[in-house]
Every structure is written in C-alpha cells, then in structure tokens.
Amino acid sequence: MTPPPDIIFIDTWMCGDCTVGRLAYGDFHCLTLELPWVSNEKNISCIQAGSYTAVKYDSPKNGEVLLLRSVHARTMIEIHAGNFTRDIEGCILVGDSLKYLDGDSVLDVTNSKKTLGKLLQAVPDEVEIGIVRRG
C-alpha cells in the first residue's frame, strides 16, 4: 500500500517488549520505536492505531518535536529523538536503523536526533498522521 504523500504514515508491528514501525512521508522514510501495547496505559503503552493531527512544538523536555493532538485518553504524545524504550513515555522515537545497542533484548533505534531533524525539515508545521498496528 502506498500512503498519500501529504500525510505521515506509520506502519507498525508489535514485537513483545516494543513496537517497531516504518514511517513514510513522501520521499522521506525512517524507522520508529514505541512501547508495547498495554491497553493504552499512560507512560507504559504505545497509543492506539488511528488518525491524528500533529504540530511542530518546542517541548520543554525534548526540544523541537511533533506533538500529536487528540490522542484518546492521553496527552503530550510526541515524535521525538531517543534511542531506547526507556527514553519513551508513550511517545514515538524515530531513527534510521534498528539495533541492540545497550545489551538488553529490546530493539533500539540509531541516529535518532539526525533522523528527527530530517523529518521536521520534511513536514509542514501541521500534518496528518495515520498509524496502523499489526500483530
């Protein structure tokens, strides 16, 4: 399936201790890392599949990010830089590859700050996001 070029499309797979995905926006592509699905529980679960609006936002904690609006039962869900699931409190990390970086058995993303910078350059100040969850 080819996503529309004017929305961010994130196609994800549940992997036990984490959720990994592929993000596409026009010609820009990267990988994503999220927490596993834990019934949409704040700070320990990825968010529900669905459509969201995101805006560029200067986060006090994470710097320039994409902030997702109207996430069911959740607030302050960001697409931000980080390498490990411990860097996530329900948000979405981006990177250019998946590796085991820190000796545990949970996948990590690499080059996250650089990847986030490229994503922020590629998208407008407000953009639609579609998230699909698989197995």
The pLDDT value given to residue 74: 95
Per-residue pLDDT reduced to its tens digit, 36-74: 999 999 999 999 999 999 999 999 999 999 999 999 999
**Number of other CB atoms surrounding residue 90 within 10 Å:** 21
The pLDDT value given to residue 2: 60
The pLDDT value given to residue 1: 56
pTM: 0.94
Task: Write out 38-56 in H/E/C secondary structure.
Answer: CCCCCCCCCCCCEEEEEEE
- Give the separation between CA 53 and CA 104, rounded to whole angstroms: 34
- Give the separation between CA 22 and CA 69, rounded to whole angstroms: 21
Which residues neighbour 32 within 8 Å (Cβ) at sequence distance 6 or greater?
Answer: 10, 12, 19, 20, 21, 22, 23, 79, 92, 93, 94, 95, 109
Mean pLDDT, consecutive 10-residue segments, the chain of 135 residues?
Answer: 77 95 97 96 96 97 96 96 94 97 93 98 97 93
